[in-house]
Chain A
Amino acid sequence: MIKVAVAFTEFARLGDLTSLEYLQQQVASNLPQGQAFELEQIRLGNEFCERLIPSVGQIGKAIAVADKLQLGFALVISNLTDRGLEKIERILPLLPDDSEVVVNDWGTASYISTAYPALKLIAGRLLCKHLKEPRIATPEEDPVVKWPVENEYFLTVLADLNIQSAEVDLAPHTRPPDHKMEHISIGLHLGRGYSARSQVCTIGSLHQFDEDKFSPGHQCLRECLDYIVRVPQLIYPQTEQLQMYQRGTTWFYNYSDRMKQSIATVIERQSIDRVIVSLDWGDH
């Protein structure tokens, strides 16, 4: 049985979050058919943009829902500027002890591990870097890439920051470990991976004056929650088609059928401890 976290970017878009049955249906449709699972956590926030840090009000509502459904809670944050750090300083005190926080830069990890030792840190996928090139999806021609969590020195860094969990994507060329990892709990994002992130946001510039568009740290109206940039068809013929799209600052690719099938094997081998299902960040 695999443990599952369901992730949302914004409380207003949580769907029928108050219904456990709804959440379980959503999870089941993202997992290999018939896969047994245990829904254990609700997450709020976003890994890719600090402008999507949840408000105090949203955090309070999400924690209340998690309590009601007897699920754990996790806050998700992107890599942060100092301005972003100021924002999370307002919400971290609201988190119940033993909540998890998905961090995506080393400094934020260091700050939280010192200032809030009761919170459990997860190294997000912006920290667990590996090649993710959706345009060379022909398995036999791919370079083989392992997750960084298999490297002892990466684990040393995590241990130094009191981080015992890490999260990763599948890439066409990923070769996951064939056994359960010691000393680290691994979460795998289902459905899609990310390939490249920008510090400026194309769609987030939509309502900005021309002179303010695409500047570092520019304002936005969270247009990423309303629009998607699609690449209509895969540009380069490959043996497996990975649909690419852009949400906000980030290019994503959907897992191919082959990659989805491999998830069942990964779960069976216990190479991963948890899967993450993003429900409002789009199943496109």
Chain B
Amino acid sequence: MKIVAPISRVEEAAIFARQGADELFFGVIPQEWTKRFGRFTANRRSANNLDSLADVAEVVEQVHSVGKRTSVALNGTTHTAEQAAFVVELATALVEKGVDALIIGDIQVLAILQPLQLPVRIHISSTASCRNVPTARLMQKWGADRIILPRHTSLEEIRVLASGVPDLEFEAFVLNDGCPYEEGLCHSLHLPTELGGPLCFESFDSSVERLDGQPESADERKLINHNAARYGQWRWSKFSRGFTTTASGQPYGPCGLCAIPLLKEMGIEHIKIAGRDGNPERKQRSLEMVGEIAAQTEDAVDCRDIMHFARHIRGEPELCQNSDMCYYPEVVTK
């Protein structure tokens, strides 16, 4: 299996490539973009991007020197005509610097790139929300070499997609990025804290009410309160248990480690560690964890043994008693 891992600094590239990442992905926002378009980002992250094409060239050289690949996130979900044109200019420049793949999230950008036939692979971002076989086929027709599956995709949905378009590569999340919303269908901004922060933090009071205006029964209210409390706990877990790590720096989740053998069985060869925003240590621990499970999977270790290992990898197997941390909760619940 091929591990796709994030970097946000030039110095991370060679280290992670030597430590087992097969493909390194990153964002780049040149100053010209910021000058022209301000807070609108070309790749869903306003920080932790490489700053220049010179940095890109350095990363490409280092990564290629150890026989690994690079991909660049150009995965904004929507652009004005001006922005889309700039993204395509940037894409052309990135290809000249030798990047191996472009990660595209906006259908318009894909439509502009397709006739150019640039000598580069096209990966469709999770932000493009590809959830069915006809969409995957359409993306393939428009030049896609790989589909990065959106978060909150079930294993059964993945199986149907992978078997429905067997000549297309798929990449599945296995660690680190857990917003409860669908990234490709979120049109809000990660605002500064004083304006409310990211909408997905839901850092505001809310209440569930009946639409018919009737008061809830006591049992109904109890059910609603329980559901809200469970959602809060689930969301906290999905945000890596409040953005914490184990004592040794291992990230908590969301996590799909024990699903890796199942993904392999379905023909998913590329597994993604998300978290461009993470610090180097977090990225490194993530790579170690995924690398170990991927190696066992490649060695055809019994699936049950791998799952057992995965659940104990953090030394806190009790966290896997429920599926709150899971990308693929059915592995735990079914």
Contacts and interface: CB of A to CB of B under 8 A. Distances in A.
Interface of A: 79-85, 105-108, 110-111, 126, 129-136, 143, 146, 148, 150-154, 156-157, 160, 171, 194-200, 202-203, 205-207, 210-217, 225-232, 235-236, 246, 251, 282
B107 A154 contact: yes
Given A133-B187, A135-B196, A203-B227, 5 more contacts: A107-B137, A129-B185, A131-B78, A211-B333, A216-B329
15 contacts: A105-B132, A108-B132, A130-B187, A151-B80, A151-B108, A196-B199, A199-B152, A206-B227, A211-B322, A212-B333, A213-B234, A214-B231, A215-B329, A232-B207, A236-B194
Contacts of A151: 79-81, 84, 108
Given A105-B132, A213-B227, A203 B191 contact: no
A225 B212 CA distance: 10
A207 B223 contact: yes
Contact of B195 (A135, A157, A216, A246): A135
A29 B168 CA distance: 50
A135 B191 CA distance: 9
B107 A157 contact: yes
B189 interface: yes
Given A150-B81, A157-B107, A196-B186, A107 B134 contact: yes
A129 B129 CA distance: 12
Interface in B277-334: 322-323, 329-330, 332-333
Interface in B110-124: 111-112
Contacts of B130: 107
Give the 10 A-B CB pairs with smallest separation, nearest first: A107-B135, A107-B134, A199-B152, A129-B78, A197-B185, A196-B186, A132-B187, A153-B108, A216-B154, A216-B152
A85 B38 contact: no
A81 B131 contact: yes
Contacts of A216: 152-154, 157, 329
A222 B281 CA distance: 44
B185 A126 contact: yes
A246 B191 contact: no
A266 to B, nearest CB: 19
B206 A135 contact: no
B153 A227 contact: no
A207 B226 CA distance: 10
Most buried by B among A160, A198, A212: A198
A133 B206 contact: no
Which secondary structure characterizes the binding site on chain B? mixed
A131 B189 contact: yes
A90 B201 CA distance: 39
* Interface size range of chain B in the complex: 35 or more
A265 B165 CA distance: 47
Contacts of A205: 227, 230-231
B136 interface: yes
Nearest to A205: B227
B150 interface: yes
Contacts of A134: 188
B132 A198 contact: no
Contact of A107 (B132, B154, B180, B224): B132
B138 A107 contact: yes
B208 interface: yes
A195 B188 contact: yes
B132 A82 contact: yes
Contacts of B153: 199, 216
Interface in B130-183: 130-139, 150-154, 156-157, 160-161, 164, 180-182
Contacts of B191: 133, 135-136
Contacts of B187: 129-133, 171, 194-196
Contacts of B234: 213-214
B210 interface: yes
B199 A81 contact: no
A85 B188 CA distance: 28
Given A79-B185, A198-B181, A215-B333, A152 B81 contact: yes
Contact of B186 (A82, A197, A236): A197
Contacts of A203: 208, 227
Contacts of B129: 79, 105
Given A131-B187, A133-B189, A205-B227, A106 B138 contact: yes
B107 A106 contact: yes
B211 A111 contact: no
A282 B211 contact: yes
